A = this chain, B = another copy of it.
Amino acid sequence: MRAIVLLSGGLDSYTAAAIAQSEGFEIYALTVSYGQRHAAELEAARRVVRALGVARHLELAIDLRAIGGSSLTSVGEVPRDRDVAAASGIPSTYVPARNTIFLSLALAWAEAIEARDTVMGVNALDYSGYPDCRPEFIRAFEALASVATRVGIGGARFRIHTPLIALSKADIIRRGLALHLDYGLTHSCYDPQAAGAPCGRCDSCLLRAKGFAQAGAADPLVMR
């Protein structure tokens, strides 16, 4: 059975893809280049796709810099050295409607290749500040998909699988290591200057480091 997997090149989507694959899905990986400053992510997505062995890898470009509203796509600093667990509110790295855009592109591809399943590595625990990483959002998108499409009105039901949504970063890493994933292929850092090597100070690096520490594992990216 075919599944679209939204694959960024980060640790979460790699793990989500591998879980879907272990459940028997044939993977159609979708990577969106949206003008993110940390474009090293795209290289990581290609490495991850090769390691997984997917049916197809589709890269789509949509330049969200023209829309703005996020420190991930515009000039200005990404936050550093924050206590992410204690931070409240929605961080500046939130990109307006990003997951809505990503899921709508996945829905288009799903309809074109007759897939009914989409997999997404969103996580509500570590990033509870992002509105479009919550279960309510996922359910609302599934409801939309059923009325938005040719096959939906024909009675087909689109499902969005979020295997990581209730896991801690440490649990995600444990799942991935059990599936023998090589996290040295991934890229998590938000800092556009840190080409390849993680900055170690942005929210994403800090969450990743905490996750590996709690999982009792070493991050192959940091060991390099």
Residues of A at the B interface (CB closer than 8 Å) are: 58, 60-64, 66-69, 90, 94-101, 103-105, 107-109, 111-112, 131-132, 134, 136-137, 140-141, 143-145, 147-150, 152-153
**Can you name the residue of chain B whose Cβ is closest to the Cβ of A74?**
B112
Taking A69-B112, A97-B108, A141-B148 as given, write out 6 further A-B residue pairs in contact, using a Cβ cutoff of 8 Å, ordered by the A residue number: A67-B112, A69-B108, A100-B108, A101-B105, A140-B140, A140-B148
Bound CA span A108–B37, Å: 18
**Copies of this chain per assembly:** 2
- Contact indicator A96/B140 (Cβ below 8 Å): no
- Contact indicator A112/B68 (Cβ below 8 Å): yes
26 A–B contacts from the bound complex (CB under 8 Å): A61-B61, A61-B63, A62-B62, A64-B108, A67-B105, A67-B109, A67-B112, A68-B112, A94-B150, A95-B108, A96-B109, A96-B112, A97-B105, A97-B111, A100-B104, A100-B107, A101-B101, A101-B108, A131-B148, A131-B149, A131-B152, A131-B153, A134-B147, A140-B144, A140-B147, A143-B144
